[in-house]
A and B are shown apart, each in its own frame.
Chain A
Amino acid sequence: MVADDALLMAYVDGDLTPQQNQELERLMDASPDLAQRVSRLMASCLPYEEAFARQKLPPVPESLKLKIAALASQHSAAPATASVSAPATVRKDSVFARLFGQSRPKFAWMALTFAAGAACYALVLQVGVLNGVLKPGFEASAPAVAQTLPWVQQAAAYQHLYTRETVDYGAQPADVVTKTLADIRDADGLALRVPDLSSAGLTFKRVQRLRFNNKALIQLVYLPEKGAPVALCVMKEPKPDQSLAQQNVAQMNVVTWRQSELGYALIGEPEGVDLNAIARLVADRSAGQLFAVSRAPMWVADIQK
């Protein structure tokens, strides 16, 4: 298998066969560079449609309407030589979701074009060409962060692309959340609770099952009262506990810790909410649980009867 860009894009879009997916994921496991290329492509899959759906656009000037009408009239008078297919709708939740994700959206060349463009955007952001233009405070070269786990690095870089509008379009449907959490429990084997962080001013927005190096990476997104979203990312890490540590990763403020063999990364913008305080809420288990999905053993139900 030649891992060229076309193949990687097809992987990102979910167009490869399961066998091809497995083969490519094996290559990614063996090659951090390849994994990074893929993750960058995946990081481009933001839910732009939702983000812009509620964007209030200025009215089209009357002069422009007249000009377009004239052009259309002129075009319809000429013989048709080719038909143009309608642009494919960019899928929703494809964000990290393919990366990392389970979905297999149908391929559409327009979507590929969009994704390629978005990937270029992400790559440009990575090298900082648009520093200060697209996002205030974004620095040209990210300082190397020692001891930062690769998945935390990727999750932070991805989260850096989020704006408030990215998730402010509405809540994820409850049935989708419930199904996703059930999959996290049953398919991914993670005893994960979704902390209710409303006491810290954070509103839960959505959960995604992502993948990093062929392992489950869970992203819980919260929206504070002001400012950019905050993500709580979780991966299985069968290692000893580790206490809270604050880092700056990809221009994001990140608090990491490891607890009961789960690695946590709480990611937000540096000028945002007090991540240390929120991380302590989560680690202390002093926050309640949203969307309880784990089933109690049968004997518990029996006791209740």
Chain B
Amino acid sequence: MKALAVFLMCLGAAAQEPPAPAETPKPGTVSGIVTVAGTGTPMKNVQVIVGRGGPQERTATTDAQGRYTLREVAPGMQRILAMAPDASGRPGFGPSATRQIVLAPGQDSTVDLQVILPGRITGKVVDQNKEPVPGITVFLVAREYTYGALRAYFTSAATTDDEGVYTLERVTPGRTYAVMANRLRRNLKPISDAPLDPAVRLPSVVPTYFPNAPSLDGSEPLILRPGERREGVDIRIRRAASFCLEGVLEGNSGPGALNFDISETQPTSGQTGSGGFYMSPPGGKTGPDGKFRLCDLHPGDYELSVSEYRPGGYGAGQFNAAVVTIGDRDVSGVRLGLRPRIPVAGEVAFDGPPPATPIDTKLGIAVIAVTRAERGNAQAAIPGAFTFDDGLLMDEYGTTFNAVPPGTYVKDVTYGDRSILNRTLRVGSAIGNASLRVVLARDGGSIAARVADKDGNPVADCTVVILPATAASEAEFAALMKTGQSDASGRWSGPQLAPGKYVVLATQDAINRSPEVIAKLWAARTRGEEVEVVAGGKPAVTLMSRSLD
């Protein structure tokens, strides 16, 4: 009512005065308390930010009672971000929490935030003599469906100290992890001096999963509670017969001095839902003859790669990789040659006639190597052609699209004659000068979701999940899953979808593409709201937040 009165007064003033420039809406104030989720303990030195990165950015730091106040906050939809210090006090490097609000002009809003504390895992790595092993790399390993396949990724790492002790920080609570110890020799000699006879070689270190398993399947899964300090995650490293891999690396004009890397094929570096973690694998450089003899290899699958840096030292100009299997003997006669960057071009086309009104925005096509930090970006008119200016290394990439025009969705992506939609792009795998073809379609619709409590009140900051009603596999199910957060009015409007049946859920549980969560979602489909999306349709669905368990 008060706001209405102010509005009427303003209207009256406007009727009497000459036209004035449009007034900036009166800013408001956002204040509250940041606490530890679960315990309610106030958190000090937390950076609270609104309008991050923009001209309207406002920041505050919580006091000893966890209080903060953000002044002069622009009205409208705002996301409040709280970033706690990490364990060593680095501001903004610890866990975070967000809340979305709608701030009215001049409003003083109270927004409390609860920060979920990460966990920590500590343990000791010992050898067969129960001796501590310094300098061992201990990885936090997570499994996740990415680009249509289940893969294992490193998500964090630590190194054992002189007593063999390691500490893994920033462990996401509720997520299933494995802990693996491995010895990484950073700088490999191209020609190993390991004995010719495998029988007199020192057994090699096998990547060992807690507590003493040679593979991820045999590991003991670890799930931490918020803020939990899990101790005693001790690993006794396994050993196995040691073998050598011999061969020659070739450049454009035959054998040459080239960079090489070698590492187990799984787990790998790469991007997961919780961010990217990249680690240089063991490697070195051959002599001018290109010869290598790499030893201390346990039985298993390895990726051997060869690369040549670009002038200036930034990134690889040429590259190639091959999977090599070590069995029960040495492997020799391997030849691996550099491959130049491959020109990759393509086109964006419509399935059916293009819209009557031309689209003046461009589609962003981004690729990132599944296990490396190699990236490529291109932009295309819609419809229109595109090219990755610098070409792409012959590697396996995930593909994402940005700025998909409203009312359209990506119906298919082909490379050569094969669909790679929700799969990986293996550059160089298609015959001839194969190109990418991105097919956009306009026959889809979207879903308008609203999350409410049992009394019909909106529920903000709830995860809304759109799932395909049918899928051939969990991998496909995970690839087709769409998620978003409900806003202050409990609403979320999903992206454009292909016509078909979908199941929609709302939950406060953490959603990711780990096999554990995907399995829960698969089982929870029967508890969701089934929705049929038709061309141009936007069915509305009201959801109550449910646990996936």
Real binding pair: no
